[in-house]
């Protein structure tokens, strides 16, 4: 695989970004949901409409080779309800790699680049949510110094789900 370029997403990326997000999320989580719940989630937070708006509210980086999107990482303001936010806290909201490319180091490289971005590099604490059964992702985050600090619940359609909450305390790394 050619070394991917990691760059900020642009409005012209929205259709491919939505397609990638839909495919990777459905590959990871679609089997455990009803068709209605999956469709609602994909429309709510993986659609072109969602990403067109998200580009104005969050930072989204994409990994690409030869014009093909291979992964994306999204981060921005902190919004995990079970954790009290402090000034300077940020949240790594999403990190997805095309299913066929997982385990080849692209997720690690994207996380490195994201953590070097001013918004996250300047944060006092960086939080994220991750499905506890996604052991590969949990191990990746732990290698970067994230530690488990609790859980959060969220709804996907009628289903109530639970994720781990992980924290990278940047003050402790200095």
pLDDT reading at 158 higher than 70: no
What per-residue confidence (pLDDT) applies to 30? 61
Residue range 37-53, pLDDT digits in tens: 777 777 778 899 999 99
C-alpha torsion sign, points 31, 131, 134, 71: positive
Mean pLDDT of all residues in 4-12: 96
Number of domains in the chain: 1
Q: Percent of the chain at pLDDT above 70?
A: 92
Residue range 55-92, pLDDT digits in tens: 999 999 999 999 999 999 999 988 888 888 888 899 99
Global pTM value: 0.89
At 35, which CATH number?
3.40.630.30
Residue range 127-144, pLDDT digits in tens: 999 988 889 999 999 999
So which residues are the catalytic ones? 141
Domain extent for 87: 5-173
Of 133, 142, 24, the closest CA to residue 72 belongs to 24
What per-residue confidence (pLDDT) applies to 79? 82
What per-residue confidence (pLDDT) applies to 174? 45
What per-residue confidence (pLDDT) applies to 139? 94
């Amino acid at each position: 695989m050619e070394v991917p370029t990691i760059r900020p997403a642009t409005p012209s990326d929205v259709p491919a970004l939505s397609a990638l997000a839909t495919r990777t999320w459905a590959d990871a989580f679609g089997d455990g949901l009803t068709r209605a719940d999956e469709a609602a989630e994909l429309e709510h937070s993986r659609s072109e409409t969602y990403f067109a708006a998200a580009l104005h509210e969050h930072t989204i980086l994409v990994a690409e080779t030869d014009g093909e999107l291979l992964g994306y990482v999204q981060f921005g303001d902190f919004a995990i309800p079970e954790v009290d936010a402090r000034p300077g806290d940020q949240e790594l909201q999403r990190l997805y790699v095309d299913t066929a490319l997982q385990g080849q180091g692209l997720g690690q490289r994207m996380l490195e680049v994201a953590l070097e971005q001013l918004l996250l590099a300047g944060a006092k604490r960086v939080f994220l949510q991750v499905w506890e059964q996604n052991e590969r992702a949990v191990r990746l985050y732990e290698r970067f110094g994230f530690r488990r600090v609790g859980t959060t619940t969220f709804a996907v359609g009628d289903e109530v789900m639970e994720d781990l909450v992980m924290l990278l305390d940047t003050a402790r790394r200095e």
